[in-house]
């Protein structure tokens, strides 16, 4: 009896089918390691789902859908609460902010025109700066990387929406992801074409604008250095590129900081910030992006300003557009805008 | 293009494949009209979410499908490939490998997401396609010589046959490229790495289980089976059959086909030997077929087998009311005068019985009894046979 049992066990152990099962267990081990997520990842994911379900509640839907979304929102809220037990109370913004700050993430939430808006993004840099616009403004700023949770206006407008700056409660947020994908796209096209002459750096209007702003970086990298490692070259290109546009963004931020206490509508504040940035630190790319981007403005003052901006300096003739003209035009529009009541 | 079948034939009913299909459809209909609470519950606990996983989800996700078309597509592929793999592997191994490759596909998909696409760690995956890809991998390994019947489209019902190796390798490459695209950030709504993982697991499993030996035999059997029946161009079949019979001589059907080919135009020693072998093997597996094969053999060679087999065959012939043929074959056996044994004794007595009872030839029966007494003077049936010979013929 015992010998028979031993023989049966031996047969099982030496069976190739059993070996395959052991192989599967090893694979499960690898899987468990590579798919491991921290509680931070889980909190972020469930918070994101909760926030987006909250946004969906505000979007026009049929009543049945609303009930479903409401249920999902509650479930994700329950999950966030369960996961954050002991770490922070999600309903208290300051606690949530300090929790995310530990992981170098910025969390913010607010209510604008009755709509909830959340923001969660990696902090690339934070600091204090002083700008003259022409009045001197000192403000705190955060340069934010790719957003994990996008604010409601961006979510509502869809993937094409691009915002360069926005006002936070205590600081100005500068969004690096409004430019980074464009810089990466431009780098990739250059890496593939490997330009040898300056005219090979551009084809369409956007790449021409980028080349005009980043001429030094482009030529140094592709005509002189010829880097071999694509990844490091791309990172350095994006870094250099962003540095070029940062002064404009800071000027925009300064205007936002100065207008913070005004009662201007948010879209009008944004228009003023963009015009200030372009008048003080003009560049071709941001000018082109603002000219060609879809406008979402609701207040008459903002619409009037953007219409003026769109009418001036035709981007189909880019050679006729100079930094000086961009600056003068932006300043002129800014001056012509009446201060709303 | 939609696969609708293959040029292989099955030996058994695909119980496991049908059960898996039924289970998938049953679960689909069970949760089709579920409310939002159930839907959330199913998503949370039964779909496979690599970043927030319960171990059982690796199995349960194989039974859930996103919509009707997802399930229909998977069902078609499982039916087309699964039934033949089940036929080749036997049901236990098939079921084991279905779940093994399904699990492996989910693990490989999750691992690829964990390494290259961490932003998708919380996106759930579902469907049996990983396990079905595993079955397709096994099919490629075992049935690479077959052809897949493809329907060009539902709107254009034209069927074409494409070698399985070509179609399955192209299918794998499509998924592999899709997988690379997902790594490059091109959004895809298909878990390509589950397909690639399942397919690779299927192939790897076959290699580890040394299925190539069976695959080689099955290929030879398939070639022999399909080409030996043809009027011309059967040389390849003859070659395949001879190679196969060297390593696996217990293949009566192949032997019979080979015997027919070898005896097609004239009698040959090879043909005769194959007939004899196949009839002997069939006698154990399928006596009716053995009898039919023997009738063919008799018509071509007018000879009988060894007493042991011939007695069985003649009895079968007698049972099937072939009294004349039964008597002729036994007569032929007696005339052949093989070394005496118990079977030969039986043959004499049985022949005499046929003459007496069925053919009403008592004279011939007496003649057989007399010869029996000459041949087996010390038989235990002697007393009975003597009695039979002493009966008057007119009785």
Mean pLDDT of B294-315: 92
A45 touches chain B (CB under 8 A): yes
Contact B52 A19 (CB under 8 A): no
B85-92, long-range: CB within 8 Å, 24+ apart, which pairs? B85/B135, B85/B138, B85/B139, B85/B142, B85/B143, B86/B12, B86/B14, B86/B15, B86/B16, B86/B17, B87/B10, B87/B11, B87/B12, B87/B14, B88/B142, B88/B143, B88/B214, B88/B218, B89/B138, B89/B142, B91/B15, B91/B16
Task: With a cut of 60, say whether residue B122 has pLDDT above it.
Answer: yes
A34 touches chain B (CB under 8 A): yes
Nearest residue of A to residue B103 by CA position? A24
List pLDDT tens digits, range B39-73: 889 998 999 999 988 999 999 999 999 999 999 99
Contact B208 A21 (CB under 8 A): no
Task: With a cut of 90, say whether residue B75 has pLDDT above it.
Answer: yes
Distance from CA of A126 to the nearest CA of B (A): 25
Task: With a cut of 50, say whether residue A341 has pLDDT above it.
Answer: no
CB A284 within 8 A of CB A325: no
Number of Cβ pairs < 8 A linking chain A and chain B: 62
> Which residue shows structure tokens 């580890």?
B208
Contact B122 A45 (CB under 8 A): yes
3-class SS string, chain B = CEEEEECCCCCCCCHHHHHHHHHHHHHHHHCCCCCHHHHHHHHHHHCECHHHCCCCHHHHHHHCCCCHHHHHHHHHHHHHHHHHHHHHHCHHHHHHHHHHHHHHHHHHHHHHHHHHCHHHCCCCECCCHHHHHHHHHHHHHHHCCCEEEEECCCCCCCEEEEEHHHHHHHHHHHHHHHHHHHHCCCCCCCCHHHHHHHHHHHHHHHHHCCCHHHHHHHHHHHHHHHHCCCCCCCHHHHHHHHHHHHHCCCCHHHHHHHHHHHCCCCCCHHHHHHHHHHHHHHHHHCHHHHHHHHHHHHHHHCCCCCHHHHHHHHHHHHHCCCHHHHHHHHHHHHHHCCCCCHHHHHHHHHHHHHHHHHCCCHHHHHHHHHHHHHHCCCCCCHHHHHHHHHCCCCC
Task: State residue A243's pLDDT score.
Answer: 93
Contact A31 B114 (CB under 8 A): yes
Cα B84-B90-B91 angle, rounded to 5 deg: 95
A 54-93: CB under 8 A from B: 67-68, 71-72, 75
Per the structure block, which two tokens stand in for B263? 């005896």
Backbone angles phi, psi at A197, to 5 degrees: -125, 160
Contact B40 A72 (CB under 8 A): yes
d(CA B147, CA B140) in angstroms, rounded, equals 11
Neighbours of A308 (CB within 10 A): 17
Percentage of residues in chain A with pLDDT exceeding 90?
A: 49
List pLDDT tens digits, range B210-250: 999 999 999 998 988 888 877 766 788 888 998 999 888 88
Neighbours of A252 (CB within 10 A): 28
Distance from CA of A152 to the nearest CA of B (A): 21
Nearest residue of A to residue B97 by CA position? A17
Question: Would you list the DSSP string of A11-78?
Answer: HHHH-HHHHHHHHHHHHHHHHHHHT---HHHHHHHHHHHHHHHHHHHHS---HHHHHHHHHHHHHHHH
Question: Shortest CB distance from A20 goes to which of B55, B100, B115?
Answer: B100
CB < 8 Å to B117, chain A: none
d(CA B108, CA A27) in angstroms, rounded, equals 8
Q: Which of helix, strand or coil describes residue A149?
A: strand
Contact A41 B121 (CB under 8 A): yes
Question: Would you list the DSSP string of A92-138?
Answer: -HHHHHHHHHHTTEEEEEEEETTEEEEEEEEEEEEEEEEEESSSEEE
Task: With a cut of 70, say whether residue A255 has pLDDT above it.
Answer: yes
> Which residue shows structure tokens 């403005």?
A297
Mean pLDDT of A305-326: 85
Residue of B122, B206, B210 to mutate, interface with A, max A Cβ within 10 Å: B122
Distance from CA of A25 to the nearest CA of B (A): 10
Q: Are strands A115-132 and A172-175 parallel, antiparallel or unpaired?
A: unpaired
Bridge partners of A106? A121
Contact A16 B209 (CB under 8 A): yes
Mean pLDDT of A270-287: 92
Contact A24 B104 (CB under 8 A): yes
CB < 8 Å to B93, chain A: 17
Distance from CA of A169 to the nearest CA of B (A): 29
Task: State residue A306's pLDDT score.
Answer: 87
At residue A299 the predicted structure's pLDDT band, cuts being 50, 70 and 90, is confident
Global ipTM:
0.79
Task: With a cut of 80, say whether residue A297 has pLDDT above it.
Answer: no
List pLDDT tens digits, range A13-24: 888 999 999 999
Distance from CA of B67 to the nearest CA of A (A): 19
Task: State residue B266's pLDDT score.
Answer: 85
List pLDDT tens digits, range B338-384: 888 889 999 999 999 999 888 888 889 999 998 999 888 888 888 88
pLDDT averaged over every residue in chain B = 91
A28 touches chain B (CB under 8 A): yes
Distance from CA of A27 to the nearest CA of B (A): 7
Contact B114 A36 (CB under 8 A): yes
Contact B50 A41 (CB under 8 A): no
CB < 8 Å to A37, chain B: 51-52, 121-122
At residue A337 the predicted structure's pLDDT band, cuts being 50, 70 and 90, is confident
B271: left (phi over 0), alpha (psi -120 to 50) or beta: alpha
Domain boundaries, chain A: 38-103, 181-244
Question: Shortest CB distance from B110 goes to which of A19, A35, A72?
Answer: A35
CB < 8 Å to A31, chain B: 50, 107, 110-111, 114
Contact A31 B107 (CB under 8 A): yes
CB < 8 Å to B96, chain A: 17
At residue B394 the predicted structure's pLDDT band, cuts being 50, 70 and 90, is low
Task: State residue B49's pLDDT score.
Answer: 92
B25-31, long-range: CB within 8 Å, 24+ apart, which pairs? B25/B71, B25/B75, B27/B63, B27/B64, B28/B64, B28/B65, B28/B68, B28/B71, B31/B64
Question: Shortest CB distance from A45 goes to which of B51, B53, B115?
Answer: B51
Task: State residue B391's pLDDT score.
Answer: 77
Task: State residue A52's pLDDT score.
Answer: 92
Mean pLDDT of A221-239: 89
Dihedral sign, CA of B378, B381, B387, B390?
negative
d(CA B198, CA B215) in angstroms, rounded, equals 20
Residue of B104, B116, B123, B202 to mutate, interface with A, max A Cβ within 10 Å: B104
Contact A35 B50 (CB under 8 A): yes
Nearest residue of B to residue A37 by CA position? B51
A230 touches chain B (CB under 8 A): no
Mean pLDDT of A253-270: 88
Dihedral sign, CA of B84, B88, B90, B96?
negative
Mean pLDDT of B193-207: 96
Task: State residue A339's pLDDT score.
Answer: 56
B6: left (phi over 0), alpha (psi -120 to 50) or beta: beta
- Alpha carbon distances (Å) from A19 to A11, B92, B139: 12, 16, 21
Distance from CA of B96 to the nearest CA of A (A): 9
Question: Shortest CB distance from B107 goes to which of A27, A36, A72?
Answer: A27
Question: Shortest CB distance from B114 goes to which of A17, A34, A71?
Answer: A34
Q: Which of the two residues, A314 and B282, has the higher pLDDT score?
A: B282
Nearest residue of B to residue A45 by CA position? B122
Mean pLDDT of B191-215: 95
Contact B111 A31 (CB under 8 A): yes
Element spanning A197, H or E: none
d(CA A199, CA B153) in angstroms, rounded, equals 49
């Amino acid at each position: 009896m015992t010998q028979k049992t031993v023989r049966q066990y031996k047969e099982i152990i030496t069976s190739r089918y059993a070996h395959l099962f052991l192989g599967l267990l090893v694979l499960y081990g690898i899987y468990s390691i590579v798919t491991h997520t921290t509680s931070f990842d889980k909190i972020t994911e469930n918070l994101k789902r909760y926030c987006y379900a909250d946004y969906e509640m505000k979007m026009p839907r049929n009543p049945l859908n609303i009930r479903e979304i409401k249920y999902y929102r509650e479930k994700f809220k329950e999950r966030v609460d369960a996961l954050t037990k002991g770490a922070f109370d999600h309903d208290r913004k300051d606690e949530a902010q300090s929790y995310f700050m530990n992981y170098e993430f910025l969390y913010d939430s607010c209510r604008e025109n009755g709509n909830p808006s959340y923001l969660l993004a990696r902090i690339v840099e934070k600091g204090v700066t002083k700008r003259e616009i022409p009045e001197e403004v000192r403000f705190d700023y955060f340069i934010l990387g790719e957003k994990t949770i996008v604010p409601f206006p961006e979510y509502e407008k869809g993937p094409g929406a691009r915002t360069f700056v926005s006002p936070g409660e205590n600081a100005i947020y500068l969004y690096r992801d409004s430019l980074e994908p464009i810089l990466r796209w431009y780098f990739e096209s250059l890496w593939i074409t490997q330009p040898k002459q300056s005219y090979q750096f551009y084809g369409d209007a956007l790449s021409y604008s980028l080349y005009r702003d980043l001429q030094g970086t482009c030529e140094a990298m592709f005509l002189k250095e010829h880097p071999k490692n694509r990844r490091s070259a791309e990172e350095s290109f994006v870094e250099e590129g962003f540095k070029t546009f940062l002064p404009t963004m800071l000027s925009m931020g300064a205007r936002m900081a100065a207008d913070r206490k005004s009662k201007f509508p948010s879209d009008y504040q944004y228009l003023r910030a963009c015009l200030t940035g372009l008048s003080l630190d003009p560049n071709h790319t941001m000018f082109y992006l603002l000219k060609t981007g879809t406008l979402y403005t609701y207040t008459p003052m903002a619409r009037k300003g953007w219409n003026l901006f769109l009418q001036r300096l035709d981007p189909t003739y880019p050679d006729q557009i100079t930094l000086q003209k961009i600056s003068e035009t932006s300043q002129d529009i800014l001056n012509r805008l009446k201060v709303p009541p | 293009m939609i696969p609708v079948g293959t040029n292989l034939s099955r030996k058994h009913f695909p119980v496991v494949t049908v059960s898996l299909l039924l289970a998938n459809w049953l679960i689909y209909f069970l949760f089709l009209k579920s409310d939002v609470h159930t839907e959330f519950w199913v998503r949370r606990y039964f779909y496979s979410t690599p970043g927030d996983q319960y171990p059982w989800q690796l199995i349960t996700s194989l039974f859930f499908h996103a919509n009707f078309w997802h399930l229909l597509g998977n069902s078609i592929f499982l039916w087309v490939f699964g039934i033949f793999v089940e036929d080749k592997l036997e049901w236990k191994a098939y079921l084991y490998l279905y779940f093994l490759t399904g699990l492996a596909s989910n693990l490989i998909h999750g691992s690829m997401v964990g390494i290259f696409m961490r932003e998708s760690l919380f996106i759930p995956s579902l469907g049996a396609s990983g396990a079905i890809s595993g079955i397709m991998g096994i099919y490629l390994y075992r049935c690479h010589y077959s052809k897949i019947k493809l329907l060009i489209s539902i709107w254009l019902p034209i069927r074409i046959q494409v070698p399985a190796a070509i179609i399955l390798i192209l299918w794998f490459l499509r998924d592999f490229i899709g997988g690379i695209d997902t790594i490059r950030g091109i959004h895809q709504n298909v878990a390509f790495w589950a397909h690639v993982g399942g397919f690779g697991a299927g192939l790897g499993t076959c290699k580890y289980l040394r299925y190539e030996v069976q695959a080689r035999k099955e290929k030879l059997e398939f070639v022999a089976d399909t080409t030996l029946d043809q009027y011309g161009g059967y040389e390849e079949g003859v070659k395949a059959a001879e190679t196969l019979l060297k390593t696996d001589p217990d293949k009566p059907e192949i032997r019979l086909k080979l015997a027919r080919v070898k005896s097609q135009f004239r009698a040959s020693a090879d043909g005769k030997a194959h007939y004899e072998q196949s009839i002997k093997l069939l006698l154990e597996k399928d006596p009716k077929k053995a009898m039919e094969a023997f009738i063919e053999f008799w018509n071509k060679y007018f000879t009988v087998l060894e007493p042991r087999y011939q007695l069985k065959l003649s009895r079968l012939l007698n049972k099937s009311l072939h009294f004349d043929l039964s008597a002729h074959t036994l007569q032929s056996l007696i005339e052949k005068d093989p070394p005496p044994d118990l079977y030969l004794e039986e043959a004499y007595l049985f022949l005499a019985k046929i003459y007496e009872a069925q053919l009403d030839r008592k004279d011939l029966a007496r003649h057989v009894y007399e010869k029996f007494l000459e041949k087996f003077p010390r038989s235990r049936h002697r007393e009975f046979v003597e009695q039979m010979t002493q009966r008057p013929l007119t009785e």
